[in-house]
Amino acid sequence: MPTLYVTAPTEVAADLARTVVEARLAACVNRFPCTSTYRWEGEVVEDREELLLVKTTDERYEALVARLVEEHPYDVPCIERFDEDDLFEAFDAWVAESTTEP
C-alpha cells in the first residue's frame, strides 16, 4: 500500500485532504503542521506548511497524484511515495475498501 508524503500551504491543506478522500483516491489523510526550509528561485525560503500523509492503493495511485498536482497551488509540489509491505491486515483491507468506487 502506498503512502504519499505531501507538503502544502496551511490554507489549502484541509481542502486537498478532503478532495482526495471524497473522490475515493485516498482512504485517509493525516495532517501535521511543519516548517519547511528550502531553496526556491535562488533564495532560501522558510514557510509554515502542513505535512500530509496520504494512504491509497496501487490502483488509485496515479489518479491520486494527477489530482494532487491539479489541485496543488505550487509549481513543483512535494509528492513522495513510500510503499508499505508489512501492514496490519485489517487496516490494509480498510484502505482498499475506502478507495473502491461504490
- CATH label of the domain that carries residue 51: 3.30.70.120
Counting the structural domains of the chain, the total is 1
- According to DSSP, the β-strands at 43-55 and 28-40 are antiparallel
What's the Cα-to-Cα distance from 85 to each of 2, 58, 59, 82, 99, rounded to whole Å?
A: 9, 12, 15, 10, 18
Local confidence pLDDT in tens for the 102 residues of the chain:
899 999 999 999 999 999 999 999 999 999 999 999 999 999 999 999 999 999 999 999 999 999 999 999 999 999 999 987 777 888 888 888 988 887
Written in H, E and C, the secondary structure of 78-94 is: CEEEEECCCCCHHHHHH
State the residue range of the domain holding 33.
Answer: 2-98
pTM greater than the 0.75 cutoff = yes
